[in-house]
Structure 1
Amino acid sequence: FHQRRVLRSIKCFQYTDSALKCQNKYPNADCEKLFGNAVKVNTDTERPDNCFKNAAGVYNEPMKQLAVSICPLTCGYCCITPAYNCENKRNPRIACSTITPDMCENPTWKPIIVEDCPNVCGFCKEGVQFFFQFIFTYELPTNSDLGTCVDIAKDCAADISICNHIDMQDFVKKNCKRTCGFCNEASAECGNDPKCARWVANGYCTSSFYSDEMKKKYCGKPCKLC
Protein backbone atom coordinates (compact mmCIF):
# COMPACT_ATOMS: atom_id res chain seq x y z
CA PHE A 1 0.00 0.00 0.00
CA HIS A 2 3.00 2.33 0.28
CA GLN A 3 2.81 2.82 -3.49
CA ARG A 4 -0.61 4.50 -3.29
CA ARG A 5 -1.58 7.90 -2.04
CA VAL A 6 -4.33 6.63 0.25
CA LEU A 7 -6.58 7.66 3.10
CA ARG A 8 -6.92 5.19 5.95
CA SER A 9 -10.43 4.64 7.29
CA ILE A 10 -11.58 2.27 10.02
CA LYS A 11 -12.41 -0.52 7.58
CA CYS A 12 -10.20 -0.03 4.54
CA PHE A 13 -7.82 2.00 2.41
CA GLN A 14 -9.33 4.41 -0.08
CA TYR A 15 -7.98 6.35 -3.05
CA THR A 16 -7.92 10.11 -2.52
CA ASP A 17 -8.39 12.84 -5.13
CA SER A 18 -4.63 13.25 -5.50
CA ALA A 19 -4.32 9.77 -6.99
CA LEU A 20 -6.85 10.57 -9.72
CA LYS A 21 -6.46 14.24 -10.60
CA CYS A 22 -4.61 13.86 -13.92
CA GLN A 23 -5.52 12.56 -17.37
CA ASN A 24 -4.44 9.45 -19.25
CA LYS A 25 -2.26 9.98 -22.33
CA TYR A 26 -4.14 7.17 -24.08
CA PRO A 27 -7.95 7.17 -24.41
CA ASN A 28 -9.55 5.94 -21.19
CA ALA A 29 -11.15 2.96 -22.94
CA ASP A 30 -7.78 1.85 -24.30
CA CYS A 31 -6.18 2.19 -20.88
CA GLU A 32 -8.81 -0.06 -19.35
CA LYS A 33 -8.19 -2.64 -22.05
CA LEU A 34 -4.48 -2.55 -21.28
CA PHE A 35 -4.55 -2.39 -17.50
CA GLY A 36 -8.05 -3.23 -16.26
CA ASN A 37 -10.95 -1.33 -14.69
CA ALA A 38 -10.06 2.17 -13.51
CA VAL A 39 -9.80 2.82 -9.79
CA LYS A 40 -12.28 5.26 -8.22
CA VAL A 41 -11.97 8.02 -5.63
CA ASN A 42 -13.10 7.06 -2.12
CA THR A 43 -13.30 3.35 -2.91
CA ASP A 44 -11.17 0.46 -1.70
CA THR A 45 -11.06 -1.29 -5.08
CA GLU A 46 -7.68 -2.91 -5.61
CA ARG A 47 -5.48 -1.43 -8.31
CA PRO A 48 -5.54 -3.76 -11.36
CA ASP A 49 -2.64 -6.22 -11.33
CA ASN A 50 -1.56 -5.13 -14.81
CA CYS A 51 -0.71 -1.72 -13.36
CA PHE A 52 2.29 -3.16 -11.51
CA LYS A 53 2.64 -6.90 -12.20
CA ASN A 54 3.86 -8.95 -15.13
CA ALA A 55 2.04 -11.88 -16.76
CA ALA A 56 3.35 -14.20 -14.02
CA GLY A 57 1.68 -12.07 -11.34
CA VAL A 58 5.00 -10.78 -9.97
CA TYR A 59 5.67 -7.11 -9.14
CA ASN A 60 7.39 -5.52 -12.13
CA GLU A 61 8.83 -2.00 -11.99
CA PRO A 62 8.93 -1.45 -15.79
CA MET A 63 5.23 -2.38 -15.95
CA LYS A 64 4.46 0.12 -13.22
CA GLN A 65 6.44 2.87 -14.94
CA LEU A 66 4.61 2.16 -18.20
CA ALA A 67 1.28 2.62 -16.39
CA VAL A 68 2.53 5.85 -14.78
CA SER A 69 3.62 7.25 -18.13
CA ILE A 70 0.58 6.43 -20.28
CA CYS A 71 -2.43 5.59 -18.07
CA PRO A 72 -1.88 7.15 -14.61
CA LEU A 73 -5.55 7.98 -14.10
CA THR A 74 -6.73 4.43 -14.74
CA CYS A 75 -4.19 2.99 -12.32
CA GLY A 76 -4.43 5.72 -9.66
CA TYR A 77 -0.84 6.89 -10.15
CA CYS A 78 -1.43 10.60 -10.79
CA CYS A 79 0.37 11.68 -7.62
CA ILE A 80 3.63 10.06 -8.73
CA THR A 81 3.68 11.44 -12.28
CA PRO A 82 6.37 14.12 -12.88
CA ALA A 83 3.75 16.86 -13.17
CA TYR A 84 2.36 16.18 -9.68
CA ASN A 85 5.22 14.54 -7.79
CA CYS A 86 6.74 17.50 -5.94
CA GLU A 87 6.28 19.36 -2.68
CA ASN A 88 4.30 22.56 -2.21
CA LYS A 89 5.95 25.50 -0.49
CA ARG A 90 6.03 25.08 3.28
CA ASN A 91 4.41 28.48 3.88
CA PRO A 92 2.41 29.25 0.71
CA ARG A 93 0.82 32.65 0.17
CA ILE A 94 -2.53 30.97 -0.54
CA ALA A 95 -4.00 27.86 1.04
CA CYS A 96 -3.23 25.15 -1.52
CA SER A 97 -6.36 23.21 -0.55
CA THR A 98 -8.58 26.10 -1.73
CA ILE A 99 -7.26 26.19 -5.31
CA THR A 100 -10.00 25.44 -7.85
CA PRO A 101 -9.73 23.96 -11.37
CA ASP A 102 -10.57 27.40 -12.80
CA MET A 103 -7.63 28.88 -10.92
CA CYS A 104 -5.34 26.21 -12.35
CA GLU A 105 -6.31 27.26 -15.88
CA ASN A 106 -6.15 31.01 -15.24
CA PRO A 107 -2.88 32.65 -16.41
CA THR A 108 -3.20 35.37 -13.78
CA TRP A 109 -3.00 32.81 -10.98
CA LYS A 110 -0.43 30.53 -12.61
CA PRO A 111 2.79 32.23 -11.36
CA ILE A 112 1.52 32.09 -7.76
CA ILE A 113 0.48 28.44 -8.04
CA VAL A 114 3.66 27.37 -9.85
CA GLU A 115 5.76 28.80 -7.04
CA ASP A 116 3.63 27.96 -3.99
CA CYS A 117 1.32 25.00 -4.79
CA PRO A 118 2.69 23.28 -7.93
CA ASN A 119 1.43 19.76 -7.21
CA VAL A 120 -2.20 20.90 -6.96
CA CYS A 121 -2.44 21.75 -10.66
CA GLY A 122 0.29 19.57 -12.10
CA PHE A 123 2.83 22.39 -12.41
CA CYS A 124 5.81 20.55 -10.89
CA LYS A 125 7.78 20.71 -14.15
CA GLU A 126 7.00 24.37 -14.88
CA GLY A 127 9.38 26.24 -12.57
CA VAL A 128 11.85 28.71 -14.06
CA GLN A 129 10.69 28.11 -17.64
CA PHE A 130 7.27 29.52 -16.81
CA PHE A 131 8.75 32.44 -14.84
CA PHE A 132 10.36 33.87 -17.97
CA GLN A 133 7.25 33.19 -20.05
CA PHE A 134 5.23 35.07 -17.44
CA ILE A 135 7.49 38.13 -17.52
CA PHE A 136 7.08 38.58 -21.27
CA THR A 137 3.50 37.36 -21.69
CA TYR A 138 1.37 38.06 -18.64
CA GLU A 139 3.01 40.64 -16.44
CA LEU A 140 2.11 43.78 -18.34
CA PRO A 141 -1.13 45.39 -17.11
CA THR A 142 -4.31 44.79 -19.11
CA ASN A 143 -6.92 47.27 -20.32
CA SER A 144 -9.41 45.65 -17.96
CA ASP A 145 -7.47 47.23 -15.06
CA LEU A 146 -8.34 50.71 -16.24
CA GLY A 147 -11.41 52.28 -14.64
CA THR A 148 -12.93 48.91 -13.74
CA CYS A 149 -13.40 47.35 -10.33
CA VAL A 150 -13.55 43.63 -10.93
CA ASP A 151 -11.54 40.59 -9.97
CA ILE A 152 -9.25 39.81 -12.90
CA ALA A 153 -8.04 36.56 -11.35
CA LYS A 154 -10.45 33.64 -11.02
CA ASP A 155 -11.84 32.67 -7.59
CA CYS A 156 -10.08 35.34 -5.50
CA ALA A 157 -12.64 34.65 -2.77
CA ALA A 158 -11.58 30.99 -2.47
CA ASP A 159 -9.07 32.08 0.17
CA ILE A 160 -9.68 35.64 1.33
CA SER A 161 -6.65 35.52 3.62
CA ILE A 162 -4.63 36.54 0.55
CA CYS A 163 -6.12 40.04 0.90
CA ASN A 164 -4.04 40.61 4.05
CA HIS A 165 -0.98 38.51 3.19
CA ILE A 166 1.99 40.85 3.00
CA ASP A 167 3.55 38.98 0.07
CA MET A 168 0.31 39.08 -1.94
CA GLN A 169 -0.41 42.82 -1.83
CA ASP A 170 0.82 43.67 -5.34
CA PHE A 171 -1.13 40.72 -6.71
CA VAL A 172 -4.46 41.38 -4.95
CA LYS A 173 -4.43 45.14 -5.54
CA LYS A 174 -4.13 44.47 -9.26
CA ASN A 175 -6.08 41.22 -9.69
CA CYS A 176 -8.54 40.88 -6.75
CA LYS A 177 -9.73 44.46 -6.24
CA ARG A 178 -13.38 43.63 -5.70
CA THR A 179 -12.88 40.73 -3.29
CA CYS A 180 -10.23 42.52 -1.26
CA GLY A 181 -11.93 45.93 -1.14
CA PHE A 182 -9.55 48.00 -3.25
CA CYS A 183 -12.25 49.45 -5.53
CA ASN A 184 -12.04 52.97 -4.18
CA GLU A 185 -8.27 53.14 -3.89
CA ALA A 186 -7.10 56.35 -5.54
CA SER A 187 -4.48 56.05 -8.23
CA ALA A 188 -1.74 58.51 -9.02
CA GLU A 189 -2.20 60.70 -12.09
CA CYS A 190 1.42 60.12 -13.05
CA GLY A 191 2.31 56.60 -12.05
CA ASN A 192 5.59 54.91 -11.32
CA ASP A 193 4.69 51.30 -10.58
CA PRO A 194 7.51 49.20 -9.04
CA LYS A 195 7.34 46.92 -12.10
CA CYS A 196 7.74 49.78 -14.59
CA ALA A 197 11.42 49.10 -15.21
CA ARG A 198 10.56 45.62 -16.46
CA TRP A 199 7.51 46.78 -18.42
CA VAL A 200 9.41 49.63 -20.06
CA ALA A 201 12.20 47.23 -21.04
CA ASN A 202 9.53 45.06 -22.69
CA GLY A 203 8.25 47.99 -24.79
CA TYR A 204 5.35 49.24 -22.68
CA CYS A 205 5.91 52.93 -23.39
CA THR A 206 5.97 52.52 -27.17
CA SER A 207 3.38 49.76 -27.49
CA SER A 208 0.27 50.67 -29.48
CA PHE A 209 -1.73 48.08 -27.50
CA TYR A 210 -1.93 50.33 -24.42
CA SER A 211 -3.64 53.71 -24.39
CA ASP A 212 -1.73 56.86 -23.40
CA GLU A 213 -4.03 57.16 -20.39
CA MET A 214 -3.09 53.71 -19.20
CA LYS A 215 0.63 54.32 -19.81
CA LYS A 216 0.41 57.55 -17.82
CA LYS A 217 -1.50 55.90 -14.97
CA TYR A 218 1.00 53.07 -14.43
CA CYS A 219 4.33 54.38 -15.73
CA GLY A 220 3.86 58.05 -16.55
CA LYS A 221 7.22 59.06 -15.09
CA PRO A 222 9.42 56.34 -16.65
CA CYS A 223 7.62 56.83 -19.98
CA LYS A 224 8.16 60.61 -19.67
CA LEU A 225 4.47 61.36 -20.16
CA CYS A 226 4.18 63.67 -17.16
Structure 2
Amino acid sequence: MIALLILLVSGVSAEIKVDFNCTNYVGDGTITFGYAPSATICNNVISDASCDALYAPVTAGEYPGPGLDIERPFNCYTASGTSGGAFSADMKKAAIDSCPKSCGYCCQTSAYNCRNVQCEFLKKVTETEQCQIFQFTVPRLNCNTITASQCRDVNWRVIIAADCPSACGFCNEGGCVDGVLDCANDMSICNTVGLQDFVNTYCQKTCARCSSTTAASAGTGTGTCTSFIADSSTSCRAWAGNGFCTNTFYTSAQRRAYCATTCRIC
Protein backbone atom coordinates (compact mmCIF):
# COMPACT_ATOMS: atom_id res chain seq x y z
CA MET A 1 0.00 0.00 0.00
CA ILE A 2 2.81 2.39 0.91
CA ALA A 3 4.64 1.55 -2.32
CA LEU A 4 1.47 2.25 -4.31
CA LEU A 5 1.07 5.64 -2.68
CA ILE A 6 4.68 6.49 -3.44
CA LEU A 7 4.16 5.60 -7.09
CA LEU A 8 1.01 7.67 -7.30
CA VAL A 9 2.59 10.67 -5.68
CA SER A 10 5.68 10.29 -7.83
CA GLY A 11 3.58 10.07 -11.00
CA VAL A 12 1.65 13.23 -10.15
CA SER A 13 4.72 15.27 -9.23
CA ALA A 14 6.53 14.25 -12.40
CA GLU A 15 3.90 15.55 -14.82
CA ILE A 16 4.54 18.70 -16.81
CA LYS A 17 2.68 21.36 -14.88
CA VAL A 18 4.27 24.79 -15.22
CA ASP A 19 5.89 25.49 -18.60
CA PHE A 20 4.22 23.79 -21.58
CA ASN A 21 6.53 25.19 -24.25
CA CYS A 22 7.95 22.51 -26.58
CA THR A 23 5.10 20.14 -25.73
CA ASN A 24 2.13 18.75 -27.62
CA TYR A 25 -1.35 17.96 -26.33
CA VAL A 26 -1.69 14.19 -26.21
CA GLY A 27 -4.85 13.65 -24.18
CA ASP A 28 -4.85 9.87 -24.49
CA GLY A 29 -6.19 9.25 -20.99
CA THR A 30 -2.73 8.52 -19.63
CA ILE A 31 -0.73 11.57 -20.71
CA THR A 32 -2.19 15.04 -21.20
CA PHE A 33 0.89 16.83 -22.52
CA GLY A 34 4.05 15.23 -23.86
CA TYR A 35 7.29 16.70 -25.15
CA ALA A 36 7.42 17.45 -28.87
CA PRO A 37 10.27 15.97 -30.97
CA SER A 38 11.76 19.48 -31.16
CA ALA A 39 12.04 19.68 -27.36
CA THR A 40 15.23 17.64 -27.20
CA ILE A 41 16.46 17.65 -30.81
CA CYS A 42 19.45 19.93 -30.11
CA ASN A 43 22.63 19.41 -28.07
CA ASN A 44 23.48 21.04 -24.79
CA VAL A 45 25.87 23.99 -25.11
CA ILE A 46 27.94 22.80 -22.15
CA SER A 47 28.71 19.18 -21.33
CA ASP A 48 25.88 16.82 -20.45
CA ALA A 49 27.61 16.04 -17.16
CA SER A 50 27.64 19.73 -16.24
CA CYS A 51 23.98 20.02 -17.19
CA ASP A 52 23.15 17.07 -14.95
CA ALA A 53 24.84 18.88 -12.09
CA LEU A 54 23.11 22.19 -12.77
CA TYR A 55 19.72 20.76 -13.73
CA ALA A 56 19.28 17.53 -11.83
CA PRO A 57 16.28 15.47 -13.08
CA VAL A 58 13.23 15.44 -10.85
CA THR A 59 13.55 11.65 -10.80
CA ALA A 60 17.09 10.32 -11.13
CA GLY A 61 17.82 9.05 -14.62
CA GLU A 62 14.59 10.39 -16.15
CA TYR A 63 15.01 13.16 -18.71
CA PRO A 64 12.63 15.02 -21.03
CA GLY A 65 12.11 13.19 -24.32
CA PRO A 66 9.63 13.08 -27.24
CA GLY A 67 6.21 11.91 -26.07
CA LEU A 68 7.16 11.78 -22.39
CA ASP A 69 5.43 13.82 -19.69
CA ILE A 70 8.35 13.93 -17.25
CA GLU A 71 8.57 17.24 -15.41
CA ARG A 72 11.50 19.44 -16.35
CA PRO A 73 14.25 19.80 -13.75
CA PHE A 74 12.99 22.50 -11.41
CA ASN A 75 16.11 24.64 -11.87
CA CYS A 76 15.18 25.02 -15.54
CA TYR A 77 12.44 27.47 -14.69
CA THR A 78 12.42 28.24 -10.94
CA ALA A 79 14.88 30.12 -8.77
CA SER A 80 14.01 27.96 -5.78
CA GLY A 81 14.75 24.70 -7.59
CA THR A 82 11.78 23.04 -5.93
CA SER A 83 8.31 21.88 -6.91
CA GLY A 84 5.87 24.76 -6.70
CA GLY A 85 8.57 27.40 -6.97
CA ALA A 86 7.73 30.63 -8.75
CA PHE A 87 8.46 30.73 -12.48
CA SER A 88 11.62 32.69 -13.29
CA ALA A 89 12.25 34.02 -16.79
CA ASP A 90 15.92 34.53 -15.93
CA MET A 91 16.34 30.90 -14.87
CA LYS A 92 14.64 29.74 -18.05
CA LYS A 93 16.88 31.92 -20.23
CA ALA A 94 19.97 30.54 -18.49
CA ALA A 95 18.70 27.00 -19.12
CA ILE A 96 18.06 27.69 -22.82
CA ASP A 97 21.51 29.26 -23.20
CA SER A 98 23.38 26.38 -21.54
CA CYS A 99 21.38 23.15 -21.29
CA PRO A 100 18.39 23.32 -23.67
CA LYS A 101 18.29 19.56 -24.29
CA SER A 102 18.38 18.59 -20.61
CA CYS A 103 15.56 21.04 -19.91
CA GLY A 104 13.46 20.16 -22.97
CA TYR A 105 13.79 23.68 -24.38
CA CYS A 106 15.44 23.04 -27.76
CA CYS A 107 12.43 24.42 -29.64
CA GLN A 108 13.02 27.81 -28.01
CA THR A 109 16.66 28.20 -29.01
CA SER A 110 17.35 30.63 -31.85
CA ALA A 111 18.16 27.81 -34.28
CA TYR A 112 14.77 26.14 -33.82
CA ASN A 113 12.44 28.99 -32.85
CA CYS A 114 11.03 30.31 -36.13
CA ARG A 115 7.94 30.00 -38.27
CA ASN A 116 7.68 27.27 -40.89
CA VAL A 117 6.02 27.86 -44.25
CA GLN A 118 2.28 27.31 -43.98
CA CYS A 119 -0.54 28.00 -46.37
CA GLU A 120 -2.43 30.19 -43.92
CA PHE A 121 0.49 32.60 -43.69
CA LEU A 122 0.58 33.25 -47.46
CA LYS A 123 -1.97 36.06 -47.44
CA LYS A 124 -2.04 38.19 -50.57
CA VAL A 125 -5.14 38.82 -52.70
CA THR A 126 -7.30 36.78 -50.33
CA GLU A 127 -6.43 33.91 -48.04
CA THR A 128 -8.79 31.56 -49.85
CA GLU A 129 -7.35 32.27 -53.30
CA GLN A 130 -3.77 32.05 -52.10
CA CYS A 131 -4.30 28.73 -50.32
CA GLN A 132 -5.91 27.36 -53.45
CA ILE A 133 -2.82 28.33 -55.44
CA PHE A 134 -0.44 26.66 -53.02
CA GLN A 135 -2.61 23.79 -51.85
CA PHE A 136 -0.62 20.57 -51.29
CA THR A 137 2.57 22.33 -52.43
CA VAL A 138 3.55 24.65 -49.57
CA PRO A 139 5.02 23.22 -47.48
CA ARG A 140 6.21 20.24 -49.49
CA LEU A 141 6.29 17.97 -46.44
CA ASN A 142 4.79 17.74 -42.99
CA CYS A 143 7.09 19.79 -40.74
CA ASN A 144 5.88 17.94 -37.65
CA THR A 145 7.07 14.55 -38.86
CA ILE A 146 10.59 15.40 -40.03
CA THR A 147 13.21 13.09 -38.54
CA ALA A 148 16.83 13.69 -37.59
CA SER A 149 17.94 11.50 -40.50
CA GLN A 150 16.04 13.72 -42.94
CA CYS A 151 17.85 16.75 -41.51
CA ARG A 152 21.10 15.14 -42.69
CA ASP A 153 19.75 13.69 -45.94
CA VAL A 154 20.98 15.24 -49.18
CA ASN A 155 17.51 14.75 -50.68
CA TRP A 156 15.75 16.74 -47.97
CA ARG A 157 18.06 19.35 -46.43
CA VAL A 158 17.53 22.15 -48.96
CA ILE A 159 13.77 21.62 -49.01
CA ILE A 160 13.58 21.56 -45.22
CA ALA A 161 15.64 24.75 -44.94
CA ALA A 162 13.12 26.54 -47.14
CA ASP A 163 9.88 25.04 -45.83
CA CYS A 164 10.48 23.74 -42.29
CA PRO A 165 13.59 25.44 -40.85
CA SER A 166 12.53 24.95 -37.23
CA ALA A 167 12.47 21.17 -37.67
CA CYS A 168 16.23 20.89 -38.21
CA GLY A 169 17.63 23.98 -36.52
CA PHE A 170 17.94 25.94 -39.76
CA CYS A 171 16.27 29.12 -38.46
CA ASN A 172 19.49 31.15 -38.62
CA GLU A 173 20.45 29.97 -42.10
CA GLY A 174 18.17 32.19 -44.16
CA GLY A 175 16.95 29.21 -46.18
CA CYS A 176 20.49 28.48 -47.36
CA VAL A 177 22.14 25.17 -46.46
CA ASP A 178 24.47 22.69 -48.09
CA GLY A 179 22.79 19.55 -49.35
CA VAL A 180 25.97 17.59 -48.61
CA LEU A 181 27.29 17.90 -45.06
CA ASP A 182 31.01 17.91 -45.80
CA CYS A 183 31.22 20.60 -48.50
CA ALA A 184 33.22 22.90 -46.20
CA ASN A 185 35.93 20.26 -45.73
CA ASP A 186 37.44 21.27 -49.07
CA MET A 187 36.73 24.86 -50.09
CA SER A 188 38.61 24.40 -53.37
CA ILE A 189 35.58 22.53 -54.70
CA CYS A 190 33.83 25.88 -55.13
CA ASN A 191 36.06 26.77 -58.09
CA THR A 192 36.88 23.34 -59.47
CA VAL A 193 36.16 23.06 -63.19
CA GLY A 194 33.75 20.25 -63.97
CA LEU A 195 32.14 20.28 -60.51
CA GLN A 196 30.11 23.46 -60.77
CA ASP A 197 26.80 21.70 -61.37
CA PHE A 198 27.43 19.64 -58.22
CA VAL A 199 28.47 22.73 -56.25
CA ASN A 200 25.43 24.74 -57.36
CA THR A 201 23.14 21.94 -56.24
CA TYR A 202 24.76 20.53 -53.12
CA CYS A 203 27.20 23.14 -51.73
CA GLN A 204 25.15 26.31 -51.99
CA LYS A 205 25.96 27.69 -48.55
CA THR A 206 29.67 26.89 -48.48
CA CYS A 207 30.21 28.26 -51.98
CA ALA A 208 27.80 31.22 -51.69
CA ARG A 209 25.50 29.93 -54.41
CA CYS A 210 22.17 30.49 -52.66
CA SER A 211 19.76 32.93 -54.27
CA SER A 212 20.34 35.46 -51.47
CA THR A 213 24.01 35.68 -52.44
CA THR A 214 23.59 36.04 -56.20
CA ALA A 215 22.87 39.06 -58.39
CA ALA A 216 19.41 37.64 -59.05
CA SER A 217 18.53 37.07 -55.41
CA ALA A 218 15.44 39.26 -55.52
CA GLY A 219 13.92 37.14 -58.25
CA THR A 220 13.43 40.13 -60.55
CA GLY A 221 15.25 38.74 -63.56
CA THR A 222 18.05 41.33 -63.30
CA GLY A 223 20.87 38.84 -62.62
CA THR A 224 23.72 38.14 -64.99
CA CYS A 225 23.58 34.35 -64.96
CA THR A 226 22.57 32.47 -68.08
CA SER A 227 21.25 29.22 -66.58
CA PHE A 228 18.73 28.58 -63.84
CA ILE A 229 17.72 25.77 -61.52
CA ALA A 230 14.69 23.88 -62.80
CA ASP A 231 11.30 24.74 -61.30
CA SER A 232 10.25 22.23 -58.67
CA SER A 233 6.55 23.03 -59.08
CA THR A 234 4.31 22.77 -62.11
CA SER A 235 2.27 25.77 -60.90
CA CYS A 236 4.99 28.41 -61.33
CA ARG A 237 3.41 30.05 -64.37
CA ALA A 238 0.16 30.59 -62.49
CA TRP A 239 1.98 31.77 -59.37
CA ALA A 240 4.07 34.23 -61.36
CA GLY A 241 0.86 35.73 -62.71
CA ASN A 242 -0.17 36.35 -59.12
CA GLY A 243 3.07 38.12 -58.24
CA PHE A 244 5.08 35.28 -56.71
CA CYS A 245 8.32 36.31 -58.48
CA THR A 246 8.21 40.00 -57.62
CA ASN A 247 6.26 40.40 -54.38
CA THR A 248 8.64 40.78 -51.42
CA PHE A 249 6.07 39.05 -49.22
CA TYR A 250 7.70 35.82 -50.41
CA THR A 251 11.29 35.10 -49.44
CA SER A 252 14.10 34.62 -51.94
CA ALA A 253 14.49 31.09 -50.62
CA GLN A 254 10.85 30.29 -51.40
CA ARG A 255 11.05 31.71 -54.93
CA ARG A 256 14.28 29.87 -55.64
CA ALA A 257 13.08 26.58 -54.15
CA TYR A 258 9.91 26.44 -56.23
CA CYS A 259 10.27 28.59 -59.37
CA ALA A 260 13.92 29.44 -60.02
CA THR A 261 13.55 29.17 -63.79
CA THR A 262 10.23 31.00 -64.06
CA CYS A 263 11.46 33.77 -61.75
CA ARG A 264 14.89 33.85 -63.43
CA ILE A 265 16.87 33.23 -60.24
CA CYS A 266 20.42 31.89 -60.49
Scaled by the length of structure 1, the TM-score of the pair is 0.55
The correspondence of residues 10-49 of structure 1 with structure 2, limited to 5 A, is: 10-11=29-30, 12-37=32-57, 38-49=63-74
- Partner of residue 160, structure 2: 113
Structure 2, gaps ≥5 residues long: 1-17, 58-62, 119-137, 184-188, 202-231, 237-260
- Partner of residue 76, structure 1: 104
Displacement, 1:128? 5.8
Q: Which has the higher helix share?
A: 1
- Partner of residue 4, structure 1: 21
SS in 2 for 1:14: strand
Structure 1, gaps ≥5 residues long: 146-163, 169-193, 200-226
**Pick from 111, 116, 123: which aligns with 1:88?**
116
Deviates more, 1:99-108 or 1:39-48: 99-108
- Partner of residue 191, structure 1: none
Q: Segments of 4+ in structure 1 off by > 4 A?
A: 128-131
Aligned length: 153
Displacement, 1:98? 4.9
The correspondence of residues 203-214 of structure 1 with structure 2, limited to 5 A, is: none
Q: Distance in 1 between matches of 2:117 and 2:163?
A: 5
Q: Deviations over 1:132-171 (max 9, x none)?
A: x9xx95x93239x9xxxxxxxxxxxxxxxxxx95379xxx
Q: Does the Cα contact within 8 Å between 2:75 and 2:91 map onto a contact in 1?
A: yes
**Pick from 203, 227, 234: which aligns with 1:166?**
234
Q: Does the Cα contact within 8 Å between 1:72 and 1:81 map onto a contact in 2?
A: yes
SS in 2 for 1:102: helix
Q: Which amino acid aligns with 1:8?
A: V
Displacement, 1:129? 6.1
Q: Output the aligned Cα RMSD.
A: 3.9
Q: Does the Cα contact within 8 Å between 2:158 and 2:175 map onto a contact in 1?
A: no
Q: Does the Cα contact within 8 Å between 1:88 and 1:119 map onto a contact in 2?
A: yes
Query: Identity percentage over the alignment?
Result: 34
- Partner of residue 157, structure 1: none
Displacement, 1:107? 5.2
SS in 1 for 2:158: helix
Displacement, 1:102? 3.1
